[in-house]
Chains A and B, each alone.
Chain A
Amino acid sequence: MDSDQNERSLEDINTVLEYAKLELSDVKPTVQCIYFSQQLDNQSFKLLELDDTVLETLTNGEKVVIRGNTDDMAVLCTQTTTFEIKEAEISNSMLITPQLDIGEDVDDSGPQNTKVSKVISVMNNYYELRPCKPKVAKLKKLLEENMYSGKECEEDEQHQGLKYCFEDLLNIVQGSEVEIKESLKKLKACQIEGLWRVLDFDFLSQVLNHIIQLCEENDWLSTGIPLDECLETLGQLFPREVIAHVIDCYANEMKSGGQGDHDPDDQPMQIDAKFFSLSEDKICQFFAELVLKNSGKFNLKEFLKVWEQTVPQGMRTSLSQLEGIALIDRNCMPEVIWYFPVEDLPEDVGERFNTLFKTREKWSLAEISPYIRDLTTLKVDVGGLLTKYARASMMNGIKVFSSRKPVT
Protein backbone atom coordinates (compact mmCIF):
# COMPACT_ATOMS: atom_id res chain seq x y z
CA MET A 1 0.00 0.00 0.00
CA ASP A 2 0.96 3.60 -0.46
CA SER A 3 2.15 5.21 2.67
CA ASP A 4 0.67 8.57 3.38
CA GLN A 5 3.95 9.69 4.86
CA ASN A 6 4.67 13.19 3.72
CA GLU A 7 8.32 13.82 3.04
CA ARG A 8 7.59 17.51 2.89
CA SER A 9 7.95 19.46 6.08
CA LEU A 10 6.36 22.84 6.66
CA GLU A 11 9.87 24.18 6.64
CA ASP A 12 10.52 22.90 3.11
CA ILE A 13 7.26 24.33 1.95
CA ASN A 14 7.78 27.71 3.50
CA THR A 15 11.29 28.01 2.08
CA VAL A 16 9.91 27.51 -1.40
CA LEU A 17 7.10 29.96 -0.74
CA GLU A 18 9.64 32.52 0.27
CA TYR A 19 11.68 31.99 -2.88
CA ALA A 20 8.49 32.32 -4.84
CA LYS A 21 7.92 35.66 -3.10
CA LEU A 22 4.61 34.57 -1.67
CA GLU A 23 3.53 35.68 1.78
CA LEU A 24 2.07 33.14 4.12
CA SER A 25 -0.84 35.53 4.61
CA ASP A 26 -1.66 35.36 0.89
CA VAL A 27 -2.34 31.65 0.84
CA LYS A 28 -4.67 29.40 2.77
CA PRO A 29 -3.12 27.46 5.62
CA THR A 30 -3.66 24.00 4.15
CA VAL A 31 -0.98 22.95 1.67
CA GLN A 32 -1.74 19.91 -0.45
CA CYS A 33 1.41 18.04 -1.33
CA ILE A 34 0.86 16.18 -4.53
CA TYR A 35 2.56 12.83 -5.09
CA PHE A 36 2.35 10.23 -7.77
CA SER A 37 0.85 7.13 -6.27
CA GLN A 38 3.14 4.12 -5.92
CA GLN A 39 0.57 2.26 -8.01
CA LEU A 40 0.51 4.88 -10.73
CA ASP A 41 -1.58 3.24 -13.39
CA ASN A 42 -2.48 4.84 -16.67
CA GLN A 43 -4.19 1.80 -18.16
CA SER A 44 -6.84 0.38 -15.90
CA PHE A 45 -9.44 3.07 -16.30
CA LYS A 46 -10.78 5.30 -18.97
CA LEU A 47 -12.26 8.76 -18.99
CA LEU A 48 -15.63 9.14 -20.60
CA GLU A 49 -16.85 12.64 -21.25
CA LEU A 50 -20.50 12.72 -20.32
CA ASP A 51 -23.24 14.44 -22.18
CA ASP A 52 -26.00 15.90 -19.97
CA THR A 53 -28.49 13.23 -20.99
CA VAL A 54 -26.04 10.41 -20.34
CA LEU A 55 -25.14 11.81 -16.94
CA GLU A 56 -28.82 12.08 -16.10
CA THR A 57 -29.45 8.52 -17.26
CA LEU A 58 -26.64 7.25 -15.08
CA THR A 59 -27.64 9.23 -12.01
CA ASN A 60 -31.17 7.89 -12.42
CA GLY A 61 -29.64 4.50 -11.84
CA GLU A 62 -30.10 3.33 -15.43
CA LYS A 63 -27.38 1.59 -17.36
CA VAL A 64 -25.95 2.71 -20.66
CA VAL A 65 -24.56 0.26 -23.18
CA ILE A 66 -21.48 0.49 -25.34
CA ARG A 67 -22.04 -1.45 -28.53
CA GLY A 68 -19.17 -2.08 -30.83
CA ASN A 69 -17.61 -4.69 -32.98
CA THR A 70 -14.40 -4.96 -34.87
CA ASP A 71 -15.42 -3.30 -38.11
CA ASP A 72 -17.79 -0.64 -36.76
CA MET A 73 -16.78 2.07 -34.41
CA ALA A 74 -18.24 1.85 -30.96
CA VAL A 75 -21.40 3.64 -29.99
CA LEU A 76 -22.91 4.31 -26.60
CA CYS A 77 -26.65 3.95 -26.19
CA THR A 78 -29.05 5.10 -23.56
CA GLN A 79 -32.57 3.71 -23.71
CA THR A 80 -33.48 6.29 -26.34
CA THR A 81 -30.36 7.79 -27.90
CA THR A 82 -27.22 6.70 -29.69
CA PHE A 83 -23.84 8.42 -29.37
CA GLU A 84 -20.69 7.97 -31.39
CA ILE A 85 -17.67 7.35 -29.20
CA LYS A 86 -14.56 9.16 -30.37
CA GLU A 87 -11.22 9.06 -28.73
CA ALA A 88 -9.72 12.49 -28.13
CA GLU A 89 -5.99 12.81 -27.56
CA ILE A 90 -4.67 15.91 -25.90
CA SER A 91 -1.18 17.22 -25.28
CA ASN A 92 -2.07 18.32 -21.76
CA SER A 93 -1.46 15.94 -18.92
CA MET A 94 -4.49 15.27 -16.79
CA LEU A 95 -3.43 14.24 -13.32
CA ILE A 96 -6.27 12.22 -11.85
CA THR A 97 -6.40 13.06 -8.17
CA PRO A 98 -9.08 11.38 -6.06
CA GLN A 99 -8.56 13.36 -2.89
CA LEU A 100 -8.14 16.95 -3.73
CA ASP A 101 -9.75 19.83 -1.91
CA ILE A 102 -10.63 22.59 -4.25
CA GLY A 103 -11.10 26.30 -3.60
CA GLU A 104 -13.84 26.69 -1.08
CA ASP A 105 -13.29 23.21 0.35
CA VAL A 106 -10.05 24.53 1.78
CA ASP A 107 -10.42 26.35 5.08
CA ASP A 108 -9.51 30.00 5.18
CA SER A 109 -8.01 30.03 8.65
CA GLY A 110 -6.35 27.78 11.17
CA PRO A 111 -2.82 26.65 11.76
CA GLN A 112 -0.67 25.85 8.76
CA ASN A 113 -0.93 22.15 7.87
CA THR A 114 -0.16 19.73 5.09
CA LYS A 115 -2.19 17.10 3.38
CA VAL A 116 -1.05 14.43 0.94
CA SER A 117 -2.92 14.09 -2.37
CA LYS A 118 -2.09 11.18 -4.62
CA VAL A 119 -2.19 11.25 -8.38
CA ILE A 120 -3.33 7.78 -9.37
CA SER A 121 -3.09 8.22 -13.11
CA VAL A 122 -1.83 10.58 -15.79
CA MET A 123 -4.13 10.67 -18.78
CA ASN A 124 -3.61 12.12 -22.21
CA ASN A 125 -6.84 10.93 -23.73
CA TYR A 126 -10.53 10.64 -23.09
CA TYR A 127 -13.61 9.48 -24.94
CA GLU A 128 -16.05 11.99 -26.35
CA LEU A 129 -19.71 11.32 -26.99
CA ARG A 130 -21.48 12.81 -29.96
CA PRO A 131 -25.19 12.22 -30.60
CA CYS A 132 -25.57 10.30 -33.83
CA LYS A 133 -28.09 8.42 -35.88
CA PRO A 134 -28.42 4.74 -35.02
CA LYS A 135 -26.76 2.46 -37.56
CA VAL A 136 -29.98 0.77 -38.50
CA ALA A 137 -29.39 0.10 -42.20
CA LYS A 138 -28.08 -3.26 -41.11
CA LEU A 139 -31.46 -4.10 -39.66
CA LYS A 140 -33.05 -4.20 -43.08
CA LYS A 141 -30.34 -6.50 -44.45
CA LEU A 142 -30.62 -8.83 -41.49
CA LEU A 143 -34.37 -9.16 -41.73
CA GLU A 144 -34.26 -9.63 -45.47
CA GLU A 145 -32.12 -12.73 -45.03
CA ASN A 146 -35.26 -14.66 -44.25
CA MET A 147 -38.50 -12.95 -45.11
CA TYR A 148 -41.77 -14.42 -44.00
CA SER A 149 -43.94 -15.87 -46.75
CA GLY A 150 -46.45 -17.78 -44.66
CA LYS A 151 -46.31 -20.69 -42.28
CA GLU A 152 -46.33 -23.32 -45.01
CA CYS A 153 -43.15 -21.89 -46.56
CA GLU A 154 -41.08 -21.86 -43.36
CA GLU A 155 -39.55 -25.26 -44.04
CA ASP A 156 -38.63 -24.77 -47.69
CA GLU A 157 -35.17 -23.97 -49.02
CA GLN A 158 -35.67 -20.23 -49.41
CA HIS A 159 -36.54 -19.83 -45.76
CA GLN A 160 -33.55 -21.28 -44.01
CA GLY A 161 -31.82 -17.95 -43.40
CA LEU A 162 -31.20 -16.72 -39.88
CA LYS A 163 -34.05 -15.34 -37.83
CA TYR A 164 -33.61 -12.86 -35.02
CA CYS A 165 -35.25 -12.07 -31.72
CA PHE A 166 -34.99 -8.56 -30.25
CA GLU A 167 -32.02 -9.48 -28.05
CA ASP A 168 -30.17 -10.77 -31.14
CA LEU A 169 -30.82 -7.50 -32.93
CA LEU A 170 -29.56 -5.47 -29.98
CA ASN A 171 -26.39 -7.49 -30.19
CA ILE A 172 -25.82 -6.72 -33.85
CA VAL A 173 -27.32 -3.32 -34.55
CA GLN A 174 -25.72 -0.19 -33.12
CA GLY A 175 -28.70 1.69 -31.83
CA SER A 176 -30.72 2.26 -28.69
CA GLU A 177 -33.69 0.05 -27.85
CA VAL A 178 -36.18 2.77 -28.63
CA GLU A 179 -34.52 3.61 -31.95
CA ILE A 180 -34.35 -0.03 -33.00
CA LYS A 181 -38.03 -0.47 -32.17
CA GLU A 182 -38.82 2.62 -34.24
CA SER A 183 -36.84 1.25 -37.18
CA LEU A 184 -38.56 -2.11 -36.94
CA LYS A 185 -41.83 -0.26 -37.13
CA LYS A 186 -40.64 1.71 -40.16
CA LEU A 187 -39.56 -1.50 -41.85
CA LYS A 188 -43.02 -2.89 -41.09
CA ALA A 189 -41.37 -5.79 -39.31
CA CYS A 190 -43.61 -8.15 -37.42
CA GLN A 191 -42.93 -10.31 -34.41
CA ILE A 192 -43.86 -13.87 -35.37
CA GLU A 193 -43.36 -16.54 -32.73
CA GLY A 194 -41.00 -14.23 -30.91
CA LEU A 195 -38.81 -13.51 -33.93
CA TRP A 196 -38.71 -10.27 -35.90
CA ARG A 197 -39.51 -10.78 -39.57
CA VAL A 198 -40.39 -8.63 -42.53
CA LEU A 199 -43.15 -9.93 -44.71
CA ASP A 200 -42.28 -10.94 -48.23
CA PHE A 201 -43.96 -8.44 -50.53
CA ASP A 202 -46.03 -11.03 -52.39
CA PHE A 203 -47.18 -12.56 -49.15
CA LEU A 204 -48.00 -9.12 -47.78
CA SER A 205 -50.13 -8.39 -50.85
CA GLN A 206 -52.00 -11.64 -50.32
CA VAL A 207 -52.82 -10.77 -46.73
CA LEU A 208 -53.69 -7.18 -47.49
CA ASN A 209 -55.85 -8.13 -50.45
CA HIS A 210 -57.79 -10.58 -48.30
CA ILE A 211 -58.33 -7.88 -45.71
CA ILE A 212 -59.49 -5.39 -48.33
CA GLN A 213 -61.76 -7.95 -49.93
CA LEU A 214 -63.30 -8.75 -46.58
CA CYS A 215 -63.78 -5.02 -45.97
CA GLU A 216 -65.54 -4.59 -49.29
CA GLU A 217 -67.80 -7.60 -48.68
CA ASN A 218 -68.83 -6.38 -45.25
CA ASP A 219 -68.86 -2.68 -45.99
CA TRP A 220 -66.14 -2.22 -43.36
CA LEU A 221 -64.54 0.50 -45.45
CA SER A 222 -67.08 2.93 -44.10
CA THR A 223 -67.84 1.45 -40.68
CA GLY A 224 -64.34 0.37 -39.72
CA ILE A 225 -62.82 -3.10 -39.36
CA PRO A 226 -63.81 -5.00 -36.22
CA LEU A 227 -60.44 -6.51 -35.37
CA ASP A 228 -61.66 -9.66 -33.61
CA GLU A 229 -64.10 -10.54 -36.35
CA CYS A 230 -61.49 -9.98 -39.02
CA LEU A 231 -58.95 -12.14 -37.18
CA GLU A 232 -61.60 -14.82 -36.75
CA THR A 233 -62.49 -14.89 -40.44
CA LEU A 234 -58.97 -14.79 -41.85
CA GLY A 235 -57.40 -16.79 -39.02
CA GLN A 236 -57.65 -19.99 -41.02
CA LEU A 237 -55.58 -18.54 -43.83
CA PHE A 238 -52.87 -16.63 -42.01
CA PRO A 239 -51.41 -16.49 -38.50
CA ARG A 240 -53.39 -14.06 -36.36
CA GLU A 241 -50.31 -12.08 -35.37
CA VAL A 242 -49.60 -11.46 -39.06
CA ILE A 243 -53.14 -10.28 -39.80
CA ALA A 244 -53.12 -8.01 -36.76
CA HIS A 245 -49.74 -6.67 -37.85
CA VAL A 246 -50.84 -5.88 -41.39
CA ILE A 247 -53.96 -4.15 -40.07
CA ASP A 248 -51.77 -2.18 -37.69
CA CYS A 249 -49.49 -1.13 -40.58
CA TYR A 250 -52.20 -0.11 -43.05
CA ALA A 251 -55.03 1.03 -40.81
CA ASN A 252 -55.49 3.34 -37.87
CA GLU A 253 -57.27 2.41 -34.72
CA MET A 254 -60.56 4.23 -34.34
CA LYS A 255 -61.67 5.82 -31.11
CA SER A 256 -64.56 3.70 -29.79
CA GLY A 257 -66.57 1.45 -32.11
CA GLY A 258 -67.86 3.08 -35.27
CA GLN A 259 -67.31 6.68 -36.09
CA GLY A 260 -68.58 9.65 -37.96
CA ASP A 261 -71.89 10.00 -39.69
CA HIS A 262 -73.75 7.20 -37.94
CA ASP A 263 -76.52 7.99 -35.55
CA PRO A 264 -75.11 7.15 -32.13
CA ASP A 265 -78.36 5.34 -31.20
CA ASP A 266 -77.92 3.19 -34.24
CA GLN A 267 -74.81 1.52 -32.89
CA PRO A 268 -75.03 -0.50 -29.72
CA MET A 269 -72.21 0.18 -27.27
CA GLN A 270 -69.22 -1.98 -28.02
CA ILE A 271 -67.10 -3.05 -25.14
CA ASP A 272 -63.47 -3.94 -25.68
CA ALA A 273 -63.95 -4.24 -29.42
CA LYS A 274 -61.18 -2.66 -31.43
CA PHE A 275 -62.08 -1.01 -34.69
CA PHE A 276 -59.64 0.02 -37.40
CA SER A 277 -60.11 2.15 -40.47
CA LEU A 278 -57.91 1.57 -43.48
CA SER A 279 -55.54 4.47 -44.11
CA GLU A 280 -56.14 5.85 -47.58
CA ASP A 281 -52.58 7.13 -47.93
CA LYS A 282 -50.93 3.91 -46.81
CA ILE A 283 -53.16 1.69 -48.94
CA CYS A 284 -52.59 3.86 -52.00
CA GLN A 285 -48.85 3.82 -51.32
CA PHE A 286 -48.94 0.07 -51.14
CA PHE A 287 -50.65 -0.25 -54.51
CA ALA A 288 -48.21 2.20 -56.07
CA GLU A 289 -45.37 0.02 -54.83
CA LEU A 290 -47.14 -3.06 -56.16
CA VAL A 291 -47.31 -1.50 -59.61
CA LEU A 292 -43.86 0.12 -59.65
CA LYS A 293 -41.76 -2.50 -57.88
CA ASN A 294 -39.69 -4.51 -60.34
CA SER A 295 -41.05 -2.65 -63.34
CA GLY A 296 -38.33 -0.10 -64.07
CA LYS A 297 -39.34 3.25 -65.56
CA PHE A 298 -43.04 3.57 -66.13
CA ASN A 299 -44.90 6.01 -68.33
CA LEU A 300 -46.34 8.45 -65.79
CA LYS A 301 -49.73 8.86 -67.45
CA GLU A 302 -50.23 5.13 -67.78
CA PHE A 303 -49.06 4.56 -64.24
CA LEU A 304 -51.55 7.05 -62.83
CA LYS A 305 -54.36 5.32 -64.72
CA VAL A 306 -53.36 1.81 -63.59
CA TRP A 307 -52.79 2.97 -60.03
CA GLU A 308 -56.23 4.54 -59.77
CA GLN A 309 -57.81 1.35 -61.01
CA THR A 310 -56.03 -0.93 -58.56
CA VAL A 311 -56.81 0.88 -55.30
CA PRO A 312 -60.00 -0.08 -53.45
CA GLN A 313 -63.10 1.73 -54.56
CA GLY A 314 -63.62 5.08 -52.96
CA MET A 315 -59.93 5.68 -52.27
CA ARG A 316 -58.25 8.60 -53.97
CA THR A 317 -54.69 8.48 -55.22
CA SER A 318 -52.46 11.52 -55.03
CA LEU A 319 -48.86 12.11 -56.07
CA SER A 320 -48.09 13.35 -52.56
CA GLN A 321 -48.55 9.76 -51.37
CA LEU A 322 -45.46 8.79 -53.37
CA GLU A 323 -43.02 10.98 -51.43
CA GLY A 324 -39.95 8.98 -50.61
CA ILE A 325 -41.22 6.03 -52.63
CA ALA A 326 -41.02 6.99 -56.30
CA LEU A 327 -39.39 9.63 -58.48
CA ILE A 328 -40.91 11.40 -61.46
CA ASP A 329 -38.93 12.75 -64.40
CA ARG A 330 -40.93 15.49 -66.06
CA ASN A 331 -38.14 16.54 -68.40
CA CYS A 332 -38.30 13.57 -70.69
CA MET A 333 -40.97 12.67 -73.20
CA PRO A 334 -43.12 10.95 -72.20
CA GLU A 335 -42.88 11.74 -68.50
CA VAL A 336 -41.82 8.72 -66.47
CA ILE A 337 -42.00 7.48 -62.90
CA TRP A 338 -39.94 4.81 -61.18
CA TYR A 339 -39.64 3.08 -57.83
CA PHE A 340 -37.02 4.84 -55.69
CA PRO A 341 -37.62 4.09 -52.02
CA VAL A 342 -35.70 6.04 -49.40
CA GLU A 343 -35.16 2.83 -47.38
CA ASP A 344 -32.84 1.49 -50.07
CA LEU A 345 -30.49 4.49 -49.90
CA PRO A 346 -27.25 4.56 -47.85
CA GLU A 347 -27.59 5.84 -44.29
CA ASP A 348 -24.24 7.63 -44.34
CA VAL A 349 -24.99 11.28 -45.15
CA GLY A 350 -22.17 11.72 -47.67
CA GLU A 351 -23.01 8.53 -49.50
CA ARG A 352 -26.70 9.40 -49.44
CA PHE A 353 -26.12 12.73 -51.18
CA ASN A 354 -23.77 11.09 -53.66
CA THR A 355 -26.42 8.54 -54.59
CA LEU A 356 -29.10 11.21 -54.85
CA PHE A 357 -27.02 13.44 -57.11
CA LYS A 358 -26.01 10.47 -59.19
CA THR A 359 -29.68 9.73 -59.72
CA ARG A 360 -30.57 13.30 -60.51
CA GLU A 361 -28.31 16.28 -60.99
CA LYS A 362 -30.66 18.97 -59.70
CA TRP A 363 -33.37 18.65 -57.10
CA SER A 364 -35.95 21.10 -55.85
CA LEU A 365 -36.39 21.41 -52.10
CA ALA A 366 -39.73 19.60 -52.24
CA GLU A 367 -38.23 16.74 -54.23
CA ILE A 368 -35.16 16.14 -52.10
CA SER A 369 -36.71 16.65 -48.67
CA PRO A 370 -38.38 13.21 -48.40
CA TYR A 371 -35.05 11.62 -49.28
CA ILE A 372 -33.00 13.28 -46.55
CA ARG A 373 -35.55 13.94 -43.81
CA ASP A 374 -34.61 10.72 -42.01
CA LEU A 375 -31.02 12.00 -41.70
CA THR A 376 -31.94 15.10 -39.73
CA THR A 377 -31.04 15.41 -36.08
CA LEU A 378 -32.17 17.76 -33.34
CA LYS A 379 -29.38 20.11 -34.33
CA VAL A 380 -29.33 19.74 -38.11
CA ASP A 381 -32.52 20.08 -40.14
CA VAL A 382 -33.08 19.58 -43.88
CA GLY A 383 -31.85 23.11 -44.60
CA GLY A 384 -28.70 22.49 -42.57
CA LEU A 385 -27.93 19.28 -44.43
CA LEU A 386 -28.41 21.00 -47.78
CA THR A 387 -26.15 23.89 -46.78
CA LYS A 388 -23.42 21.45 -45.93
CA TYR A 389 -23.77 18.89 -48.70
CA ALA A 390 -25.38 20.70 -51.63
CA ARG A 391 -24.99 23.84 -53.68
CA ALA A 392 -28.05 25.99 -54.29
CA SER A 393 -28.73 27.73 -57.59
CA MET A 394 -31.68 29.15 -59.47
CA MET A 395 -33.17 27.39 -62.45
CA ASN A 396 -36.19 28.90 -64.22
CA GLY A 397 -36.95 30.87 -61.10
CA ILE A 398 -36.91 27.80 -58.86
CA LYS A 399 -34.24 27.15 -56.27
CA VAL A 400 -32.51 23.86 -57.02
CA PHE A 401 -29.79 21.90 -55.26
CA SER A 402 -26.85 20.17 -56.89
CA SER A 403 -23.77 18.39 -55.63
CA ARG A 404 -20.94 20.32 -54.00
CA LYS A 405 -18.34 17.90 -55.19
CA PRO A 406 -17.93 15.62 -58.19
CA VAL A 407 -20.29 12.70 -57.97
CA THR A 408 -18.50 9.36 -57.77
Chain B
Amino acid sequence: MVQVLVSLPDSPNQCPEWAIVDLQGSLETRQPVPLGGKFVGDLHFTKQNVPILIIGHHILYGKIVDMEKPFAVIVKDESSETATDRDTDKNTSVNYVVKALIKKKLLFKQRPKPIIANIPKKL
Protein backbone atom coordinates (compact mmCIF):
# COMPACT_ATOMS: atom_id res chain seq x y z
CA MET B 1 0.00 0.00 0.00
CA VAL B 2 1.04 3.54 -0.58
CA GLN B 3 1.21 5.76 2.45
CA VAL B 4 1.19 9.44 1.75
CA LEU B 5 1.87 11.90 4.53
CA VAL B 6 0.13 15.25 4.38
CA SER B 7 1.21 18.09 6.64
CA LEU B 8 1.33 21.84 6.92
CA PRO B 9 4.69 23.47 6.24
CA ASP B 10 6.91 23.86 9.30
CA SER B 11 6.40 27.56 9.47
CA PRO B 12 2.84 28.84 9.43
CA ASN B 13 3.67 31.83 7.19
CA GLN B 14 4.50 29.33 4.48
CA CYS B 15 0.84 28.41 4.33
CA PRO B 16 -1.03 31.48 3.12
CA GLU B 17 -4.74 31.78 2.57
CA TRP B 18 -5.80 31.72 -1.06
CA ALA B 19 -9.19 32.37 -2.59
CA ILE B 20 -11.42 30.83 -5.22
CA VAL B 21 -13.40 32.60 -7.89
CA ASP B 22 -16.23 30.18 -8.49
CA LEU B 23 -17.92 30.52 -11.87
CA GLN B 24 -20.78 28.51 -13.26
CA GLY B 25 -19.82 26.59 -16.33
CA SER B 26 -16.46 27.09 -17.93
CA LEU B 27 -14.49 29.90 -19.48
CA GLU B 28 -13.87 29.70 -23.18
CA THR B 29 -12.20 31.83 -25.73
CA ARG B 30 -13.65 32.23 -29.22
CA GLN B 31 -10.73 30.46 -30.74
CA PRO B 32 -9.35 27.48 -28.85
CA VAL B 33 -6.07 28.97 -27.69
CA PRO B 34 -4.15 28.17 -24.52
CA LEU B 35 -5.55 30.23 -21.65
CA GLY B 36 -2.15 30.88 -20.06
CA GLY B 37 -1.48 34.59 -19.66
CA LYS B 38 -4.93 35.63 -20.91
CA PHE B 39 -6.93 38.38 -19.27
CA VAL B 40 -10.07 37.15 -17.51
CA GLY B 41 -11.86 40.20 -16.21
CA ASP B 42 -12.07 43.09 -13.80
CA LEU B 43 -13.12 42.41 -10.25
CA HIS B 44 -14.78 45.23 -8.36
CA PHE B 45 -16.30 45.34 -4.93
CA THR B 46 -19.17 47.63 -4.19
CA LYS B 47 -19.05 49.67 -1.00
CA GLN B 48 -21.35 46.96 0.43
CA ASN B 49 -18.69 44.35 -0.45
CA VAL B 50 -20.69 42.73 -3.23
CA PRO B 51 -18.22 41.34 -5.76
CA ILE B 52 -18.78 42.32 -9.37
CA LEU B 53 -16.89 40.59 -12.11
CA ILE B 54 -16.88 41.92 -15.61
CA ILE B 55 -15.79 39.37 -18.16
CA GLY B 56 -15.87 40.42 -21.79
CA HIS B 57 -19.36 41.71 -22.46
CA HIS B 58 -20.82 40.18 -19.37
CA ILE B 59 -21.30 41.41 -15.87
CA LEU B 60 -21.65 39.01 -12.99
CA TYR B 61 -22.86 39.80 -9.49
CA GLY B 62 -21.66 37.41 -6.84
CA LYS B 63 -21.29 37.01 -3.14
CA ILE B 64 -18.52 36.31 -0.67
CA VAL B 65 -18.92 32.84 0.78
CA ASP B 66 -17.19 31.64 3.93
CA MET B 67 -16.66 28.00 3.10
CA GLU B 68 -18.12 25.67 5.68
CA LYS B 69 -15.40 23.17 4.92
CA PRO B 70 -12.21 24.86 3.79
CA PHE B 71 -9.99 23.43 1.09
CA ALA B 72 -6.38 22.50 1.49
CA VAL B 73 -4.30 22.98 -1.65
CA ILE B 74 -1.91 20.06 -1.52
CA VAL B 75 1.20 19.58 -3.64
CA LYS B 76 3.82 16.90 -3.80
CA ASP B 77 6.66 17.83 -1.52
CA GLU B 78 9.68 17.36 -3.74
CA SER B 79 12.13 18.17 -0.96
CA SER B 80 10.84 15.42 1.30
CA GLU B 81 11.14 12.81 -1.40
CA THR B 82 14.89 12.79 -1.50
CA ALA B 83 15.13 13.15 2.26
CA THR B 84 13.04 10.07 2.94
CA ASP B 85 14.94 8.16 0.32
CA ARG B 86 18.10 8.64 2.26
CA ASP B 87 16.73 8.17 5.74
CA THR B 88 14.76 5.00 5.25
CA ASP B 89 14.79 2.12 2.85
CA LYS B 90 11.32 2.93 1.63
CA ASN B 91 11.66 4.65 -1.69
CA THR B 92 7.95 4.66 -2.40
CA SER B 93 7.14 7.32 0.15
CA VAL B 94 5.75 10.50 -1.30
CA ASN B 95 4.75 13.36 0.92
CA TYR B 96 2.32 16.13 0.27
CA VAL B 97 2.48 19.50 1.83
CA VAL B 98 -0.39 21.93 2.26
CA LYS B 99 0.60 24.85 0.10
CA ALA B 100 -2.34 27.01 1.06
CA LEU B 101 -5.71 26.96 2.75
CA ILE B 102 -8.80 28.28 1.06
CA LYS B 103 -11.51 29.46 3.38
CA LYS B 104 -13.32 32.01 1.24
CA LYS B 105 -14.65 32.05 -2.25
CA LEU B 106 -16.39 34.49 -4.50
CA LEU B 107 -19.39 32.66 -5.81
CA PHE B 108 -20.91 33.89 -9.05
CA LYS B 109 -23.93 31.71 -9.51
CA GLN B 110 -26.30 34.07 -11.27
CA ARG B 111 -26.64 34.21 -14.99
CA PRO B 112 -24.19 36.70 -16.48
CA LYS B 113 -25.93 39.85 -17.69
CA PRO B 114 -24.87 41.23 -21.05
CA ILE B 115 -23.39 44.72 -21.22
CA ILE B 116 -24.69 46.68 -24.13
CA ALA B 117 -22.19 49.08 -25.51
CA ASN B 118 -22.66 51.35 -28.48
CA ILE B 119 -19.34 50.60 -30.02
CA PRO B 120 -18.06 47.28 -28.80
CA LYS B 121 -14.44 48.03 -28.20
CA LYS B 122 -11.89 45.34 -28.45
CA LEU B 123 -12.06 43.77 -25.03
Residues of chain A touching chain B, judged by Cβ–Cβ distance below 8 Å, are 2, 7-8, 13, 15-17, 19-20, 22, 26-28, 30-40, 44-52, 55, 58-59, 61-69, 72, 76, 91-98, 100, 102-104, 106, 108, 117, 119, 122, 124, 126, 170-172, 174
Contact = CB atoms under 8 A, between A and B. Distances in A.
A103 B7 CA distance: 30
Q: How large is the interface on B (under 10, 10 to 19, 20 to 34, 35 or more residues)?
A: 35 or more
B54 A100 contact: no
Given A61-B8, A96-B18, A27 B40 contact: no
Given A16-B54, A40-B36, A67-B1, A45 B24 contact: no
B4 A66 contact: yes
Given A39-B36, A58-B98, A68 B2 contact: yes
Contact of A8 (B7, B42, B45, B49): B42
A375 B112 CA distance: 48
Given A15-B121, A28-B44, A45-B99, A95 B38 contact: no
Nearest to A19: B117
B16 A98 contact: yes
Interface in B36-59: 36-47, 49, 51-54, 59
A13 B42 CA distance: 7
Interface string B9-43: 00000001011111111110000001111111111
User: Of residues B7, B8, B45, which shows the largest number of chain A Cβ atoms within 10 Å of its Cβ?
Assistant: B45
The 8 closest A-B pairs by CB, nearest first: A103-B49, A95-B21, A69-B1, A66-B4, A100-B19, A63-B7, A32-B43, A34-B40
B38 to A, nearest CB: 5
A405 B100 CA distance: 46
Contacts of A7: 39
A162 B30 CA distance: 62
Interface of B: 1-8, 16, 18-27, 34-47, 49, 51-54, 59, 64, 69-76, 96, 98-102, 104-106, 115-117, 121, 123
Given A26-B47, A36-B36, A122 B27 contact: yes
23 contacts: A19-B117, A28-B45, A32-B42, A36-B36, A36-B37, A36-B38, A40-B36, A45-B74, A46-B73, A47-B73, A48-B74, A55-B72, A65-B3, A65-B5, A66-B96, A67-B2, A68-B1, A93-B23, A93-B27, A97-B18, A100-B21, A103-B64, A122-B35
B45 A94 contact: no
Contacts of A51: 69
A66 to B, nearest CB: 4
Contacts of A119: 21, 40
A253 B103 CA distance: 49
A171 B20 CA distance: 35
**Which of B2, B47, B72, B117 has the most C-beta atoms of chain A within 10 angstroms of its own C-beta?**
B72
A119 B53 CA distance: 14
B90 to A, nearest CB: 9
